[in-house]
């Protein structure tokens, strides 16, 4: 019992962050199990996995500045986990799009999505950047790549920019729109209040 208490005391932040990062997946599975995905389940899954991916990626990128500015070292212990969760949700987002939305029809995906919708191109680009970062996130890869590991993982910033661009283009928010800030705030508020 003492060892459990010591582990919880020492790793409380890591445990809470991991449980919080898994919450959107649990909610999605719960809603699926209870047939509560709304009138358009594919759109619901796409929205929830996409929101989860972008929020967790942003939180992952915020870990270093939080440590630097506030001296909160536990933030560094969750940076990798948050990044991997962001990749997991991005993979589910892409799988839902390719599988449920387009039925794994590559010709239809190319003709309709990739060639006509620029937000899909930047979203796919963000995912393709995150893929090698997720694969090489282990200590073995860090050792194997040496100094190149840090160079490779700096690409996460490009993935973050592309993910935000994907989101803004997707919801058709442009800076000249009068409702830009209101819509963005409402989308963010909805994402946070509904468990991402």
78-132 residue pLDDT tens: 999 999 999 999 999 999 999 998 898 888 888 877 777 788 889 999 999 999 9
With contact defined as beta carbons under 8 Å apart, do 74 and 13 qualify?
yes
* Nearest C-alpha neighbor of 85 from the set 109, 114, 101, 63: 63
**CA 123 to CA 195: how far, in whole Å?**
22
Give Cα separations from 10 to 20, 35, 74, 188, 192 (angstroms).
Answer: 18, 39, 10, 32, 27
21-74 residue pLDDT tens: 999 999 999 999 999 998 999 989 999 999 999 999 999 999 999 999 999 999
Domain ranges of the chain: 2-193
């Amino acid at each position: 019992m003492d060892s459990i208490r010591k582990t919880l005391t020492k790793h409380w932040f890591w445990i809470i962050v991991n449980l919080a990062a898994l919450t959107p997946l649990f909610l999605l599975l719960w809603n699926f199990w209870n047939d509560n995905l709304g009138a358009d389940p594919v759109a619901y899954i796409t929205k929830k996995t996409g929101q989860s991916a972008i929020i967790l990626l942003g939180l992952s990128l915020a870990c270093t500045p939080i440590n630097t500015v506030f001296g909160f070292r536990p933030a560094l212990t969750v940076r990798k986990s948050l990044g991997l969760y962001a990749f997991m949700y991005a993979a589910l987002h892409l799988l839902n799009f390719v599988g449920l939305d387009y039925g794994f029809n590559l010709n239809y995906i190319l003709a309709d999505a990739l060639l006509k919708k620029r937000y899909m191109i930047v979203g796919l680009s963000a995912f393709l950047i995150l893929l090698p970062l997720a694969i090489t996130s282990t200590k073995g890869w860090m050792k194997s790549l040496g100094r190149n590991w840090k160079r490779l993982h700096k690409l996460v910033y490009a993935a973050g920019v592309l993910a935000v661009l994907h989101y803004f283009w997707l919801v058709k928010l442009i800076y000249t729109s009068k409702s830009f800030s209101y819509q963005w705030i409402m989308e963010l508020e909805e994402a946070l209040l509904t468990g991402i």
